[in-house]
Amino acid sequence: MKRMLWGCLLLMPWLAEAADLEVANARVRMPPPVSETAAVYMDIRNADVQAHRLTGVTTDAAAMAMFHGRDMQALHDIRLVPGEHYAFAPGGAHIMLMGLKRVLHAGDRIRLSLQFDGDRQLQVQAIVRDMR
């Protein structure tokens, strides 16, 4: 049977898992109160034997979310190499939230929905951290 039973799992705030793709350590850099943007970081592990692609991200915490490279350029999708981790991390690629709908405080959690190739989705909670 094919691995079609992805569904939406939520195991722990920072560890979500769907078959062969795992997300860990999802966090949001706490923005200044006046900011309408924020960066989200996380590690995504592709434990599958084949490559996957992260194709989209949505959140109810902001008007828009997208992938950015280290120079803030938009990335269409993210290639996930088999057996490797992909890191959205400070100073590198990140998930950019634009049009925040509320002020984020340290300890708050926001929900993100990650879309992967093959119509698969993963629900992730990211915790807001003061990274100053």
Catalog residues that contact Cu ion under the rule CB under 5 A.
Answer: 68, 72, 96
Minimum separation from the CB atom of position 65 to Cu ion (A): 10
Minimum separation from the CB atom of position 69 to Cu ion (A): 8
Nearer to Cu ion, 44 or 97 (CB): 97
Continuous segment of H or E residues that includes residue 2: none
Nearer to Cu ion, 38 or 80 (CB): 38
Q: Are the C-beta atoms of 109 and 81 separated by less than 8 Å?
A: no
Continuous segment of H or E residues that includes residue 62: strand 62-68
Q: Which residue's CB atom is positioned nearest to Cu ion?
A: 68
Distance, C-alpha 81 to centroid of its chain: 16
Nearer to Cu ion, 96 or 128 (CB): 96
What is each CA distance from 67 to 1, 40, 83, 91, 132, in whole angstroms? 32, 10, 22, 14, 22
Minimum separation from the CB atom of position 83 to Cu ion (A): 28
Minimum separation from the CB atom of position 16 to Cu ion (A): 22
Nearer to Cu ion, 18 or 86 (CB): 86
d(CA 80, CA 129): 26
Torsion 94-24-115-103 (CA) sign? negative
